[in-house]
Structure 1
C-alpha cells in the first residue's frame, strides 16, 4: 500500500495517550493536519501547552483501571497510540516508571480489549536491545531484549516489559480482534524537545565546544520527531487496513508483510558521528569553533573527570554535575540501527532530514528559552 493511501485512509476515532507531551503532540498535530481521523482524542495528566484545533483533550490517570474502562467505554475508540511515559532521567523514579510504563500499559491493553478497540500502537524505545555499554552496529529487530540485571537502566527494563505485553496481546485467544505493534525510535529530537537539544546547547553557552571526548568515530542514530510521528501513523494505518481486510473475509498478511505483533526500529536512516551532531547543533546556535581548535580527550580521561565531578557534587550536595559517567559512555558509544523492516512493511521513509531538523529544533529551543545559559534576549526571538 502506498504512503498516500495510508494517509487518506480514515482511522476512525483515535486516542493518543500522552498527547500533550513531546512525541504525543507531534503525532496529534500530524494526524490532524492529514485529516486522518474522524475524531481525535488526547488523554494526558496535564493540559497541552499548545492545543491543536479540533482535538478533544481530556485529563486522566491511565493507571486507574476503573476510570479508564469508563473513559474508553464512553468514547468507543477505534485505535490507540500509546505514548504516555514519565521522562527518562539518570535518577528516574523506579516505582513511577514501573507503575506508568508497565502497569499503565497493561491497563491500556486490557480496556482496549474490553471495549472493542481494533488497533493499538505502543511507543517503545530503541534502547530495549542495548546494555548501555556495548556497541550496536546496524542492529535490527532480531536482537534480544535486554532487561533485569543485564540492563543498567531500570526505565528501559520497564519499556521492554511493556513492549512484551503489548506484542503478546496481539490476536490474543481471549480477544483475537485487537491488533498491536510497537515502534522503537532512537534518540528523538526536534521542536518541543526538552531532553536532547537543550542540554547539548547549554554546553555551547558554557564555552565547552572546544572539548571532545573520544575519537568521534562512533556513529549514532538521532531521529527527528516528525519522522517518529509519521511512523506511528503508518503503523496504525497498517493495523487498521489488516483488520479491515480480515473483517471483509480477505487473507491476513503473509509473515514477511505483517505489522501486527511486530516491533520496528525508527531512525532518520542517517547515522552520524556523535560529536558531528553536537557541532551541527552548536553551529546552528552560532558557534564558530573550527576542528583545529578542538582538544580531544580520551574516553578513560573523560570517565575519570566525570567520576571526580560526581563525587564532588554528591559530597557538597551541588546537584547534577555538568559531566557524568553515563554521558561519557553515551558520547563514546556506537549505536545505530537497520530500519529495512520498517521500510518494507510500513512503507516508512524519513520526511525531515537531519540538518533541517537540527536547524528547526535549535531555533525552537532558544525561542522557548529552555537552554541553560542562553542569552535572555534570545527567548521569544525568531531565528532565521
Structure 2
C-alpha cells in the first residue's frame, strides 16, 4: 500500500481534523500525497501539526463565520468528522455540533460549490444498546426516539439522514454525499477503548471475566477507518468527474453517493479475546485456567450496586457500569460486503498490529490510569 500511487483529489477540507479520527485521515492523506491542498478546520491545532497542512480555527455552529471560511477556501471536497466526545454526556453540545453543525457544513458546501462530502457516522445508529447484532448490514433500520437510549447516537443518526438527503438535491444536483459507519474504533491516539482496557490490567482485574466469552464483537483500527474515508472521497469525486464529462451515473448496485457503509476490520473477535490481546501486549501472563467467570446477571448486580454507592457518595463513575456489562456480553458485528464491492475497501492494518501499536502508543502518552509512569515517553516498552 505504501508504494501505491494515489490520484490527487484537489483541495480537501477535514472538519475535526485535530481529533482522533480526523488527525489519522489527515496523516493518511498526507502520506499518500492524495491532494493538491489540505485544510483542517477545528477549534484547536493538534499537539503535533502535520507539515504542509493548513490549519484554521472554525466553529461549525456559527454558520456565517463558517460560510466565510468556505468562501475563502474554495474546497473541492470535505470530510466531516467533527463531533464531541461521546462520553462527555452534554446533550445540548451534542445536538449543536452533531446536528446543527453538520447542517451548517452541508449548507456551506452547497453554497460554495464543493463537489463532494464524506460524513463520519457510527455503526451504533442501527443498535438499541441491548439487542444482539449478527452480521448486520445497511438494510437495518436506524434506531431513534424512545428505542435509542444513547442521545449521542440519536444525533449521529439525525446528522446522517440529513447528509444523505442532501445528495443530488433539486437545488444542488451535482453535490454528492456518502456516510461511513465505523464500529468501535481503536488505535494510536485512542482515549476511549485501549486506555480503559489497559487500566483494568494495571488494577489486576484480568483474572475476572463477565459472561462466557461466546459473543463476537467488531473492533476497528483507526487507520482502516481513515483508509475507508479516502476511498469514499475518491469514489465520489470520480463519479462527479465522470458525469461532468458527460458520462453516465453509476448503476444502483455500484453507486457510492447517497449511500451509507459499515466499516470494520472484517474480523469480529470474541469480546474478551480482544481485551486479553490488549493486556498481553502490555505484558499480561494470565492463563485461561486462572480466570474466574461471572454470569451476566451477577455482573449486572455488581455494577448496579457500584453505581448506587458511587452516586450516593458522589464519587464519579465506577470502574464497572451496567452499560459496560451489557456491551461485554452482547454480540455485535457487521457485514461489510457493500463497502468491499462499492468502495474497494479492505483493511490495511490487521487486528494484532493495531492492538500492538495502540497499546505502545497509550503507554507512551501516559494516558492509562495506574500505569507505571516510567513507561511514559518510552518508545520501546
Give the counterpart of 1:351 among 326, 342, 348: 348
**1:7 shift after superposition:** 5.7
Which residue is 2:196 aligned to?
A: 199
Distance 1:240 1:369 in 2: 40
Aligned to 1:190: 187
Could you say which residue in structure 2 is the equivalent of 1:146? 143
CA distance in 2 between counterparts of 1:293 and 1:156 reads 38
SS of equivalent residue, structure 2 residue 114: coil
Per-residue displacement from partner, 1:227-271 (whole Å, max 9, x unpaired)?
A: 000000000000000000000000011000000000000000000
2:170 to 169, 173, 176: 173
1:219 aligns with 2:224: no
TM-score (norm 2): 0.99
Provide the residue aligned with 1:263 in structure 2: 260
**Structure 2 Cα separation of the partners of residues 152 and 257 of structure 1:** 34
Equivalent residues in 2 for 1:95-174 (5 A)?
95-174=92-171
Task: Structure 2: give runs of 5+ residues left out of the alignment.
Answer: none
Match of 1:302 among 299, 304, 312: 299
State the alpha-carbon separation in 2 of the partners of residues 77 and 49 from structure 1.
Answer: 25
Contact 1:6 / 1:234 at 8 angstroms: preserved in 2? no
SS at match of 1:349: coil
Structure 1 length-normalised TM:
0.98
1:73 paired residue among 68, 71, 74:
71
The Cα of 1:289 is off from its aligned counterpart by 0.3
Distance 2:197 2:329 in 1: 15
Aligned to 1:19: 17
In 1, Cα distance between equivalents of 2:350 and 2:40: 28
Is 1:230 paired with 2:227?
A: yes
Q: Please provide the CA RMSD for this pair.
A: 1.2
Match of 2:205 in 1: 208
CA distance in 2, matches of 1:145, 1:382: 42
Do the aligned partners of residues 128 and 5 (structure 1) sit closer, same or farther apart at CA in structure 2, a change above 3 Å counting? farther
Q: Deviations over 1:75-112 (max 9, x none)?
A: 100000000000001x5111110000000000000010
Distance 1:382 1:5 in 2: 26
TM-aligned CA deviation for residue 198 of structure 1: 0.2
- Number of residue pairs matched? 381
CA distance in 2, matches of 1:240, 1:119: 6
1:191 to 1:211, Cα distance in 2 relative to 1, 3 A: same
Corresponding residue of 1:314 = 311
**Counterparts of 2:51 and 2:215 in 1: how far apart (Å)?**
42
Task: Please give the secondary structure, in 2, of the residue aligned with 1:98.
Answer: helix
Q: Are 1:147 and 1:157, in contact at CA under 8 Å, matched by a contact in 2?
A: yes
- Secondary structure class of the residue paired with 2:261: strand
Give the 5 Å matches for 1:53-72: 53-72=51-70
What stretches of structure 1 move > 4 A for 4+ residues in a row? 3-7
1:205 & 1:10 partners in 2: Cα distance? Answer: 45
- 1:366-377 equivalences under 5 Å are 366-377=363-374
Whole-angstrom CA distance in 1 between matches of 2:67 and 2:56: 14
Shift of 1:6: 9.7
Change (3 A) 1:7 1:235: farther
Unaligned runs of 5+ in 1: none
